[in-house]
Structure 1
């Protein structure tokens, strides 16, 4: 995400630059609107935020909002503004005025619109998998859902759905090892230099698992993810979005500066956890936070993983789990260490190595629900609802379920 700040007052520009950088934007500063019109970086940016830090430029800002509609959103930051200029800015549909006293809060709200994925014909749907703690099998569920989507989603324009998995465990997760591919997403290459990101470098970062499934996973590295700013993550997702129909994010357990914004910008969020009492507490806290971030109820689900079963294959402690997680869409995935270990050792996902296994069927129910959201298909969504009936506590009790 890129932000251009216009204004001759260096202190005002510096203040806005600091706020924009904290929100994940790559910042450029120019003295005048005319300079912005010919700026090469602006002209090459498909989506830009323009902050005008000078009330005397109000009419110019309104004119620019009209001329650059669709490419730029213009925000005039000033304590006062001429009414006619304000009306022209708002009527453009691509502009707004905010005051200095509330600029930090209001610019944060504007930033959410830039973090949301663009769903044109060339834009991908983004699904975040969020672990409630470590060791809950988050990466396994991401892999299995990605394989399902790449095999099932139809896209006549491309001859099949294109799916990417982005492993954001940037110190080196296990996703690439599970699929036996080389981790090539060395984000250190572009830290501090996001302008280096082009089609050629994206190709270098890409690990191809199958014809329609690509992996972006980091090699092991000693430094932490804290050095990776949110702007870099968002810029990378924007850059690869046009290549794919769906991007699945394997989020780390550790909460980072960009985690909240990624969740808010996702089309769906799957919170993963397990069944011990401490794990269910952590799961409940994660779910409450996701709800507080404003993720719609129909776009979030819970994958309760590694659930023990009885001799008849029924989930143990199910009533207790449903009671603790009441009101959430639940998908239960049984414990089957042998099948998952065999899949991991072979470098193949479970949905390929043992598609008819019971745990494979559990995972497919979750994957089918995601398919309905990603495809935007009523038929697929209906199928996901049917598969989820036995796992949705409200439907199990005969009450109306959530509309996807």
Structure 2
């Protein structure tokens, strides 16, 4: 899997990984594929294991169109049938006519052939085939065609989820998540929902000087009746275009959740905002693993010491396994140049992870402490603070809007270094 990014941290538009990253979750559908070669069956099987296909049910069999005809003589056809054939155009059309006799008319059919023939393509489309692809196909090809076929025409796209998690407690992941959410809302006048998933000890309400009566706990414990209207009532307005789903301010109960507890809540948030920022607590259990594995992008915050390096490496390795078709997580190195503290250099830290830092933030307890105690973001306290340009840079990269304008070298950049 090619993980090469542009200088701004994003993937080139022609990069297959960029195509995959743009694909939205596939709805609850059934898919059966009948292949003739491993070069076609393998990317289809990879698609079936992708997080965006979690709701779909995919089965891959060998044998091509003949196997499909035999199978559907005694079984109902699924929502989508994917077929591979190495037959020449005339023979292919003949086999498809036999298949039509046993296929339900409501099923969609995607044909993967080995002949790049415009006349064949037109003939297949005229006969009701949904799409014709020429082998070999990639994971991006398979995922894209499924997504295109089962996305409602005119439907608004789901918002992208960006999960922030710390490699260790106290590394500033929440502070970065909150400030980046604020930057996205301010820079692009785009609606953002910030969800504080640390129900026991979340700080988003304090950092934004909010004290809502209800928040994320009510949404989770009322999952059976939550809808868009109820969800909107739980949001606290923090700034123009920025809404907060706050964690409780008291420890009046324990919070133990199954792995899929947050799925419905996040999906509702995605329907109402182009960006959903998830402030994930530093813990490793079923639900945090599920949230991180399903997020569109993951940002790991770490400080430059050995414990953080070990934990960050474990996180990256596990997320690569959980998200085999996704881009690597982003890395933010925080609290650099702390007086009298020895630290691992940026190059030494990133090398075993295989991830270059998206940004590096210098230790500044005064600036960040003043902002936290005031219940405001860094940019609201001091718009010229060097961290503001970092948060804007991260916001540009995560939203795919290119790179924020960089400052000239020297001056502030000697204290605060940006890396794409």
Structure index of larger Rg: 2
| Residue 283 in structure 1 maps to residue 318 in structure 2 | no
Distance 1:58 1:187 in 2: 48
Change (3 A) 1:337 1:237: same
2:254 aligned partner = 224
1:361 aligned partner = 389
2:184 aligned partner = 149
Distance 2:157 2:391 in 1: 28
SS at 1:303's partner residue?
strand
2:206 aligned partner = 177
C-alpha RMSD over aligned residues: 4.3
Distance 1:227 1:294 in 2: 22
Does structure 1 retain, via aligned residues, the 8 Å contact 2:367–2:378? Answer: yes
CA apart distance, 1:86: 9.0
| Residue 168 in structure 1 maps to residue 197 in structure 2 | yes
2:350 aligned partner = 325
CA apart distance, 1:344: 1.1
Does structure 1 retain, via aligned residues, the 8 Å contact 2:257–2:287? Answer: no
CA apart distance, 1:238: 1.2
Aligned counterpart in structure 2 of residue 351 of structure 1, from 369, 379, 403: 379
2:163 aligned partner = 128
TM-superposition CA deviations, 1:302-344 (whole Å, max 9, x none): 1111111689xxx9856x3321311312121111111111111
What TM-score do the two structures reach when normalised by structure 1?
Answer: 0.61
Does structure 2 retain, via aligned residues, the 8 Å contact 1:336–1:359? Answer: no
2:330 aligned partner = 301
Aligned counterpart in structure 1 of residue 290 of structure 2, from 261, 267, 289: 261
Does structure 2 retain, via aligned residues, the 8 Å contact 1:128–1:270? Answer: yes
Aligned counterpart in structure 2 of residue 137 of structure 1, from 169, 172, 182: 172
Distance 2:319 2:220 in 1: 30
Aligned counterpart in structure 1 of residue 274 of structure 2, from 245, 251, 258: 245
Bigger proportion of residues as helix: 1
What TM-score do the two structures reach when normalised by structure 2?
Answer: 0.59
Does structure 1 retain, via aligned residues, the 8 Å contact 2:165–2:281? Answer: yes
Q: Which runs of 4+ in 1 moved over 6 A?
A: 1-5, 55-58, 83-90, 384-389
In the alignment of these two chains, the number of paired residues is 298
Distance 1:182 1:341 in 2: 20
Distance 1:171 1:310 in 2: 32
CA apart distance, 1:132: 0.9
Change (3 A) 1:189 1:248: closer
Change (3 A) 1:143 1:386: farther
TM-superposition CA deviations, 1:67-106 (whole Å, max 9, x none): xxxxxxxxxxxxxxxx99799998546xxxxxxxxxxxxx
2:217 aligned partner = 187
CA apart distance, 1:138: 0.9
Does structure 2 retain, via aligned residues, the 8 Å contact 1:138–1:272? Answer: yes
CA apart distance, 1:129: 0.5
2:17 aligned partner = none
Does structure 2 retain, via aligned residues, the 8 Å contact 1:149–1:163? Answer: yes
Does structure 2 retain, via aligned residues, the 8 Å contact 1:130–1:252? Answer: yes
SS at 1:195's partner residue?
coil
Does structure 2 retain, via aligned residues, the 8 Å contact 1:264–1:295? Answer: no
CA apart distance, 1:240: 2.0
CA apart distance, 1:385: 13
After superposition, residues 50-65 of structure 1 pair within 5 angstroms as 59-60=75-76, 62=78
CA apart distance, 1:48: 6.5
Distance 1:87 1:390 in 2: 60
